[in-house]
Amino acid sequence: MNKIPIILDCDPGLDDAYAIMLANSAKTLEVRGVTVVAGNVEFYHTARNAVDLASMLHMKTRVAKGAEAPLIINLQTAAHIHGGNGLGGYLLPKANIDFDLDKAWDVIHQEAVKCAGDLILVATGPLTNVAIALLKYPDLKRNIKKIVMMGGSTTTGNHSPYAEFNIWADPHAAEIVFKSGLPLIMFGLNVTHQCALSEAEMTELGEIDSEIQALIQGLNKHVFGEDQVRTRGGTLTLHDAVALAYLLDENIAKLRPAQVVCELNSPFSCGQTVVDFNCLPEEANVKVAVEANKQVFKGILTTMVKSYKIK
């Protein structure tokens, strides 16, 4: 069976860490690269987390540094959610591998050309790297099969009343991607929250003997600490892992075509994804996830953890 080639563009981040672990464990995926952007926390930490995690998981892939700030606006992070280092203070073993010599956008282009149109780009952070790649390499559109992204919302936001964090963090990059003409699949807050996991469910995952057990338990300790429970309501939504899981089982979500644009000008709703399901068929530029199956997602996560059994 031919594996699906992917690049995971991310900003680890609690849920990005799960997306990386999930992608690496999937027998149907070939991770051609992990490219890193600033977002959930400052770039030093997102880059460090990516390379340390790739090393810990024995990943045979390129890990490339990307944008340290958004295209136009100033960097603002979500460290209050992810902890100062992005992993709730949990320290990964220091990597025994090096970063790729090329930048994230160059790696995206190189691997896309090598895959001759079969590469799927999974974007789980601000879309800065993706936008730069599209601007630098006009031929990239011919060599990317589709982009599966975690970002946006058809309803309310999580970093402002209307905007989801990944889009809010670099709305100008998001608008470039939405206007790219590439096939896009959007997993927004409206659907990822349907896969929220309780403390009991996450504790159950952390009780499975595996090479990632200590990491899961460490992240749980942060997520279900007193301050975080107050913020999260006692649940954890692994937004990025939900988007990645779609490549493993499309039954995880139902999609609807829509026209999606990103609000750039309003001081009240900048970063909002404006989703029009009533557009003409030729105007639709995104397939938007509207319904998710939590049980399918939970099963995928359980299989993932068990795949890291201690040898």
* Residue pLDDT, tens place only, 107-137: 999 999 999 999 999 999 999 999 999 999 9
Q: Which strands form 253-262's sheet, in the order they lie side by side?
A: 62-65, 29-36, 4-10, 119-123, 144-150, 184-187, 286-292, 253-262, 273-276
Rounded Cα–Cα distance for residues 272 and 264 (Å) = 8
CATH of 4-307, one of 3.90.245.10, 3.40.50.2300, 1.10.3720.10, 3.40.50.720: 3.90.245.10
User: What's the average model confidence in pLDDT over 53-58?
Assistant: 98
Q: Give me the chain's average pLDDT, please.
A: 95
pLDDT at 229 over 60: no
DSSP per-residue string spanning 32-46: EEEEE-S-SS-HHHH
What mean pLDDT do residues 164-175 have? Answer: 98
Distance (Å, whole) CA 249 – CA 296: 8
Question: Which are the contacts of 40, defined by CB distance < 8 A and separation ≥ 6?
Answer: 11, 12, 13, 14, 16, 46, 77, 78, 79, 81, 82, 86, 125, 165
pLDDT: which is higher, 83 or 176: 176
Contact present, 11 and 69 (Cβ < 8 Å): no
CA pair distance 288, 163, nearest whole angstrom:
16
Q: In which band, very low, low, confident or very high, does the pLDDT at 41 lie, cut at 50, 70 and 90? A: very high
3-state secondary structure of 68: coil
* pLDDT tens, residue by residue, 262-283: 999 998 899 999 999 999 999 9
- State yes or no: pLDDT of 82 exceeds 80: yes
Q: Of 45, 82, 109, 239, which is the active-site residue?
A: 239
Give the whole-angstrom CA distance, residue 20 versus residue 264. 30
> What percent of the chain is helix, strand and coil (3-state, nearest 5)?
40, 20, 40
Which tens digit of pLDDT belongs to each residue from 214-226? 999 999 998 888 5
Helix (H) or strand (E) holding 281: none
Q: What is the pLDDT of residue 233?
A: 63
| CA–CA distance, 53 with 92 (Å, rounded to integer) | 7
User: Is 239 annotated in the active site?
Assistant: yes
Domain boundaries, the chain: 4-307
Percent with pLDDT over 70 in the chain: 97
